[in-house]
A = this chain, B = another copy of it.
Amino acid sequence: MRRPVPEGEFDLIRRLFAPLAAGEPGAFGLADDAAVLLDTDFVVTKDLLVGGVHFPKGEPPGRAAKKALRANLSDLAAKGAKPFGYFLGCVWPKGTTAGDIEALAAGLAEDQGAFRLSLLGGDTTLHVDKGGPLTISVTMLGLAPRDGLIRRNGARAGDDVYVSGTIGDAGLGLRAASEAKFLRGTDARAQLLDRYRAPTPRLSLGGALAGVAGAAIDVSDGLVADAGHLASASGVAIDLDAARIPLSAAAAEWRDGEGDPAAAIAYLASAGDDYEILFTAPATRRRSVEMAGQVTKTQITRIGAVRSGAGVRLIGPSGAVIAVERSGYDHFSE
């Protein structure tokens, strides 16, 4: 009897794949984005992006490749690790041209320059004519200061919760990429599209947070969902103050045009692909957190608090909990 997959991706990983990593303490039971190998300072991340899921199907290959690199760089950033190099695997769809492959390589070369990376090896499958989408698999190696790696499980009751940059722009950018009419003719549209297409991994901030942040995660599944991952790994609850969630001018403009401000903020806090860093630190470290933001010229906002318990609550201005319908981000769907 054929059964549909009964559970979400995270439950599935926990049930089927985490046991396979039980022999290696450095794999953290797959509850983290990276694995630390032996006693060395190497950190490895792997993200695989599929056309039509993680980027639109017609996306130029150079842009898709950059997004694949940046998603992995963002994982390293949240660990406080410095990128070293990466392995690349590609599956090319039917009708791929030499120009497509050249465009991918050119995109990679641009980001290698921007982030001082080297390609280290990989594998590419050209002879696919079965109609599958472009698939880009990146395994990224980073270096972390010994004992300085920021994990997901270091949040403690009483800690402050912070986030870098602004939240929800990429989610609105995804709508702009999917809906031609969305915010048509506004400057906001171009800005939001750019945030979705070319996220900026917070590498320098991540480095500055090593030794300061108790726990960190990059916001890729959505602010509330990723706060949930962090809370779950740390065995704590997190309250987020909806009014404090930092919005760009473009996102604030969109929110102001919506009828229900609470629903609008819930939407932004559950959209993904922000690639900001969500982190916790004891209240005694507020000055250090501020310094990390100043030194790296990164906006940092205190948006909540860690308490004992479990789960994440998004608290509105009146003190009422705002319901967040989508617990995770479904990426692009056509």
Residues of A bordering B, CB below 8 Å: 2-7, 9, 12-13, 16-17, 19-24, 26-27, 30, 32-35, 37, 40, 42, 44-48, 50-54, 57, 84-85, 87-91, 95-99, 101-102, 105, 108-109, 112, 118-128, 130-133, 135, 137, 139, 141, 330-331, 333
Q: Nearest chain B CB to A332's CB is how many angstroms away? A: 10
B101 pairs with A5, CB closer than 8 A: yes
A126 pairs with B9, CB closer than 8 A: yes
Other-chain residue from B33, B101, B130 in contact with A16 (beta carbon distance below 8 A):
B101
Report Cα–Cα, A34/B122, bound state, in Å: 8
B46 pairs with A89, CB closer than 8 A: yes
A17-B105, A35-B87, A135-B135 known; 6 other A-B pairs, CB under 8 Å? A13-B124, A44-B87, A47-B123, A53-B128, A54-B125, A130-B133
Give every chain B residue within 8 A of A120 (Cβ-Cβ): 21, 24, 26-27, 35, 37, 44
B105 pairs with A16, CB closer than 8 A: yes
Q: Nearest chain B CB to A134's CB is how many angstroms away? A: 10
Give every chain B residue within 8 A of A102 (Cβ-Cβ): 16
Q: A37-B141, A109-B19, A118-B24 are in contact. Are A6 and B98 (CB under 8 A)?
A: yes
Other-chain residue from B84, B88, B125 in contact with A50 (beta carbon distance below 8 A):
B125
Q: Nearest chain B CB to A289's CB is how many angstroms away? A: 28
- A9 closest partner in B (C-beta): B126
Report Cα–Cα, A165/B109, bound state, in Å: 41
- A28 closest partner in B (C-beta): B121
Give every chain B residue within 8 A of A19 (Cβ-Cβ): 109
Report Cα–Cα, A301/B217, bound state, in Å: 53
Report Cα–Cα, A194/B44, bound state, in Å: 34
Other-chain residue from B3, B12, B84 in contact with A99 (beta carbon distance below 8 A):
B3
Report Cα–Cα, A17/B13, bound state, in Å: 33
Report Cα–Cα, A31/B27, bound state, in Å: 30
Report Cα–Cα, A318/B11, bound state, in Å: 64
A121 pairs with B87, CB closer than 8 A: no
Give every chain B residue within 8 A of A17 (Cβ-Cβ): 88, 105, 119, 122, 124
Give every chain B residue within 8 A of A121 (Cβ-Cβ): 21, 27, 30, 32-35, 44-46
Q: A46-B89, A109-B19, A118-B27 are in contact. Are A101 and B12 (CB under 8 A)?
A: yes
Give every chain B residue within 8 A of A130 (Cβ-Cβ): 51-53, 57, 132-133
